[in-house]
A and B are shown apart, each in its own frame.
Chain A
Amino acid sequence: MKVYAFKQADLEKWVKSWTSTHKVYRAATQKSETCGAHAGWTEMTDGTMPPCGPAKSSVKTFYFPQPETMATFSAKKEDPDGLLMENQETPEEKQIVFGVRPCDGRSVELNNLPYVDDPFYQANRERTILVGFSCTEQKATCFCTQTGGSPYGTEGLDVALSQVGDVFLAEIITDKAAELVDNGDGLTEASESEIAELTSLRQAVEENPGHDESLKAKEMTALHGAPFWDKVAESCLNCGACTFLCPTCYCFDIQDEVVRGQGKRIRYWDSCMFPLYTLHTTGHNPRGKKVQRVRNRFMHKLKYFPDRFGPFSCVGCGRCIQECPVNIDIREVMVDLLAVK
């Protein structure tokens, strides 16, 4: 793996140079900047460094764009092949997402566990170059280390940028990112001491893991039946803010849309917080109560997913804590779950 070193101005220049060959996205700093389907993100024209903490909207919009066309069909009566589905070509155009925090990078890997055979997710993964930024500072709502991540983590990233003193180090992690380096012409390789400094920052985090895996040993039914869920759910509005801002919430709904005889089968984000999500046609709803839905969300992230795949389905970005209208705090839920006998 190559590691390059930059002064801030050179780094900005390097990042800006990508914008002439690629679509480069960064987090939007104001509402009106939002571009098209990627709410909270905008196309980048300069090389400005990202602000502290994760962006408001997670990177999942680039992996689960919505709406995502899964198939197309002609809905014209006279069309002999009408109403037969045609495959939607998966997109190939390369895109760069800049300034992603390690938590978001890790979310791409975690979502890949269930989505390893999903053609659309894989195509988007293939075409997206994630340029991450290590966190020298963390917000009060950040808890990545409690979920198995690290502020210096590189999981899911193609390029990891880290500030070490007044130098920025760029680790070129994947072959996908090699095209940004262009043989390294005009770039300065990092010195051994700079790399050693970064390594020691990383190790300092690894030596103090905040990750409690003891939920795995606990009985699912005991956690599910714990009495605290009613209190957690009481103030919940059952809106989708947590699920839609969460980088590791990946549920979707599928709908057919027809406009002037041309039909599309699309998928778009859905939320387990919504009563309609589970409603049967008969009117029966297996999770008709608010507490059942709230519980399902946390149980999925902290118990069902880990039991199946290993890690939590949570990267500790803290978005749900910050943006929950009624301040439901997943860290408190983790504490409550860990206390269950």
Chain B
Amino acid sequence: MPTINETITQEIRAKAKELLESKEVAAFLGFCQGSLPMTTRPFVARSPEEADKLVWNSFCVLNPANYLPELLKSLEPPRGPRDPAPEGPLPKAALLATGCWSRNIAIQIKENQLDRDRVVIVGIASRGMVDQRKIRARFPDQEILKVEEQDHKLKVSGQNFEEEINRWDMVRGNCLTCLHPDPVMLDVRIGAAGQERKNDTPFQQVDEIKNKSTDERWQWFQDEFASCIRCYACRNACPLCYCDTCFVDDSKPQWVGKSIDPVDTGLFHILRAYHCAGRCTDCGACESVCPMDINMRILTKKLSMDVLALYGSEAGMDPEAPLPLSTYKTDDPQDFILSESGAAKEGI
């Protein structure tokens, strides 16, 4: 009896083949198997034969929407900067999209990064992706050589051990608190539709830090980001980060120091999170790709919490709705603006 993910894999391959064979799309963006256990690679199938490399499992932690604008551009016939756009419709790409990824696509469309007509969204209800760090932490002194997936179990094995563990216990923090596993928009569905999830404390991970004293919180922040090497994997894995020149790279003016001074590193992370406010769908790619295991997602999660409280908005849930932080309303909340009297009251 094939597992749910094996069935989905087969369906993805069949759909990709069909779309590529019929030339409806020129490329199909998904994942292929990585060279190590618990890894997948973002992968673009450009021919029906390549579709057989596509896989679906619990380790598809990158966000394919991140690759989409560049992929679409690469499909256009080459032309110079002053050449007119070619006539007729441009080639399309299909991509896999779970709940959060589809919300990113909605935001990309809203922010004019993407032409909806050129994208075939292949929707999959997410069952939560697994955090390989959690598995490694579970087996701290052993090297994991193989992880076999069943629907609700993971069989982890190495040189001298083999153990079955509960899959849900290993699921990433963002997926654990996710309320919307089903795509908000799709053209083709793979697998069964997902149910909206209930969670009374979706921001519990943030609350844990919020409830600390100021000093404890500052200590947490310093400890958490101390090992950042400024590789920018978090930024580059994020579909929201598409500026031509990021503020950390700008030299005229230079906003942020370039080395790993804790002030500069902290500033980078805080500003990056703020740039994502009202846009972040908590896909968790930033955290999953961090080579130093930093939980920077907590910052964006906190901002999602604030945006929900202040504007009643969840990023990308309604593809038609205006983005909360780029829309001005006369009744926008403004209690967070520090006034002199307010600052005095707070003791600042």
CB distance from A108 to the nearest CB of B (A): 19
Cα-based distance from A88 to B67 in the complex (angstroms): 44
Question: Which residue of chain A is the closest to B294 with respect to CB atoms?
Answer: A31
Query: A140-B36, A255-B258 are known contacts. Are A40 and B231 too (CB-CB below 8 A)?
Result: no
A322 to B35 Cα, complex, angstroms: 10
Distance of A245 Cα from B43 Cα, bound (Å): 24
A241 touches B259 (CB 8 A): no
Contact B41 A326 (CB under 8 A): yes
Complex: how many Å from CA A103 to CA B36? 20
Q: Chain A residue with minimal CB distance to B246?
A: A276
Check if B291 is an interface residue, CB within 8 A of chain A. yes
Which of A37, A52, A56, A331 contacts B143, CB < 8 Å? A52
Which of A163-171, A195-203, A266-274 binds B? Answer: A266-274
Q: Which residue of B has the minimal Cβ distance to A277?
A: B249
Please tell me the size bucket of the interface on B: 35 or more
Does B145 have its Cβ within 8 Å of any Cβ on chain A?
Answer: yes
Bound CA–CA A56/B257 (angstroms): 25
| Closest chain A CB from B281 CB (angstroms) | 18
Given contacts A237-B289, A268-B259, A332-B35, contact A327 B40 (CB under 8 A): yes
Interface code A243-278, partner B: CB below 8 Å = 1, 0 otherwise? 111000000010101000000001011010010100
- The CA of A271 and the CA of B248, in the complex, are separated in Å by 14
CA distance A271 to B236 in the complex (A): 14
Tell whether A89 is near chain B: CB-to-CB under 8 Å: no
Contacts of A315 in B (CB 8 A): none
Chain B positions near chain A (C-beta within 8 angstroms): 34-36, 39-44, 62, 66-67, 141, 143, 145, 223-224, 226-233, 235-237, 245, 249, 257-261, 288-289, 291-294
List 17 additional contacts besides A240-B232, A326-B41; criterion CB under 8 Å. Answer: A32-B223, A32-B226, A34-B227, A39-B226, A39-B260, A40-B292, A140-B145, A234-B42, A235-B62, A237-B233, A239-B232, A241-B231, A244-B230, A255-B259, A268-B258, A323-B291, A329-B36
Which A positions have Cβ atoms within 8 angstroms of B? 28, 31-32, 34, 37, 39-40, 51-53, 56-57, 66-67, 139-141, 234-235, 237-241, 243-245, 253, 255, 257, 266, 268-269, 271, 274, 276, 321-323, 325-329, 331-332
